[in-house]
Amino acid sequence: MTNESIIKEASEHLPGGVNSPVRAFKAVGGKPISLVRGKGSKVWDADGREYIDFLCSWGPLILGHAHPEVVREAREVMEQGLSFGLTNPHEVRLAKIVTAKVPSIQKVRFVNSGTEATMSAVRLARGVTGRKLVVKFDGCYHGHYDSLLVSAGSGVATFGIPGTPGIPDEIASLTLVLPFNDIEAVKEAFSRHGEEIACVIVEPVAGNMGVVPPREGFLEFLREITRKNGSILIFDEVITGFRLSSGGAQQYFKVEPDITCLGKVLGGGMPVGAYGGSNEIMSRVAPEGEVYQAGTLSGNPVAMACGARTLEILMEEHPYATLDSKTAELTDGISSILKEKGIPHSINRVGSMFTLFFTGRKVTNYEDAKSSDTELFSRFFNALLKQGVLIPPSQFEAWFLSTAHTDEDVSSALERIGDAVREI
């Protein structure tokens, strides 16, 4: 089958031909592709075209595609059974790694996605505090849970969707949306609603309006004001967990939340999410406590084993400094190419994740991100695709590097990006 035939048939059976909106390429135009194979830093589409991959399945594949040890682990576990519905040793193995490495987590509950993790974390925060209001930040995406889809980034930003269709006003009104990196706005919200705020949920490094790092002191302030007001601080580390360091963004920035949400790298390419915190907070989760949450496939042995082996390799090899320097080389090279052509741009990078914004404005929040030239990004994306470089089909997403990306990959990518820029 070809890209065209697969996409055509998919459109007959799936809404928009996809199972996640951004995959339809609506924001960038052109024809979507269907990927059929991945190995290391490369992927191949149904037409047999090879791409250097900086999408990395939207972040999980920090070891690259089809890492032999992770694949071997999956095969061995699958031969023993795909699912049991009861406790298995692989979830214990993964839990021990998480609680050992993530500073704020003493106990963890595994789920099947980042959305499940954030949804459950908010429910837990409300259960612990007995309060209703949730504070989130404009452009931060925390999954498609009703209370958190208000003014979200990611696909919502890509498509310009208001964020609340299908969500009753009564639910949306329980979420206070503030500008990211704005300490004064947070102060104002707590002065008005402090006794009603159950939690503040934040991406410590925003990754769904494009990569936007926290301003100096912002995370520390959130820690201070939530503690002062008896609210729960939730870090959504679905993207940053095990991506920025072995202990995630909270280790990287030295700020510990009350509850942490994890996903992506945690599953090594399999569908896994998690939320965790102190023994005291997690003791409120059923069956120890009264805050209910459950899942038939939570703790699936194959997913747990893939996640555990991925994290074990990361702990053995500790590749973060190398990933950081290689990503810096790539972003510096991209910036040089664009400067030479006089193209306004801004690149935000933290570790091995970054976003190229087509704007001359420094991007510190969602309003800055939205100043990007999305039409130019669309032409850039399609020119890169022609050159065999795959990046996220949205201006408002992060690019990722993996340990499988070589110096040759970076050099080749920069050469192809240069050709693409000359074309546009």
- Residues known to be catalytic: 141, 236, 264
Q: Determine contact, residues 408/42, Cβ cutoff 8 Å.
A: no
Indicate left, alpha or beta for 299 from its phi (over 0: left) and psi (-120 to 50: alpha). Answer: left
Q: Determine contact, residues 104/250, Cβ cutoff 8 Å.
A: yes
**In terms of C-beta density within 10 A (0-12 exposed, 13-18 middle, 19 or more buried), how is residue 36 classed?**
middle
CA 187 vs CA 1, 179, 194, 215, 293: distances in Å: 56, 12, 9, 16, 32
Gap between the Cα atoms of 213 and 203, Å rounded: 9
**Does residue 287 have a cis bond before it (omega within 30 degrees)?**
yes
Cross-strand bridge partners of residue 39: 42
Gap between the Cα atoms of 424 and 419, Å rounded: 9
Per-residue tokens: 164: 């609340």
> Which backbone phi and psi does 176 adopt, to 5 degrees?
-100, 120
The rounded Cα 379 to chain-centroid distance in angstroms is: 25
Residue type, 76: E
Closest CA to 225 of 269, 191, 276: 191
> Which backbone phi and psi does 39 adopt, to 5 degrees?
-150, 120
Mutual angle of helices 301-317 and 68-78, in 10-degree steps: 150
Return the exposure string of 301-316: e unless at least 16 CB atoms fall within 10 Å of the residue's CB, then b: bbbbbbbbbbbbbbee
Per-residue tokens: 366: 């969602």
What's the first-to-final CA gap in the chain, in angstroms? 31
Return the exposure string of 172-202: e unless at least 16 CB atoms fall within 10 Å of the residue's CB, then b: bebbbbbbbbbbebbeebbeebbeebbbbbb
Gap between the Cα atoms of 108 and 94, Å rounded: 10
Return the exposure string of 350-376: e unless at least 16 CB atoms fall within 10 Å of the residue's CB, then b: bbbbbbbbbbeeebbbbebbbebbbeb
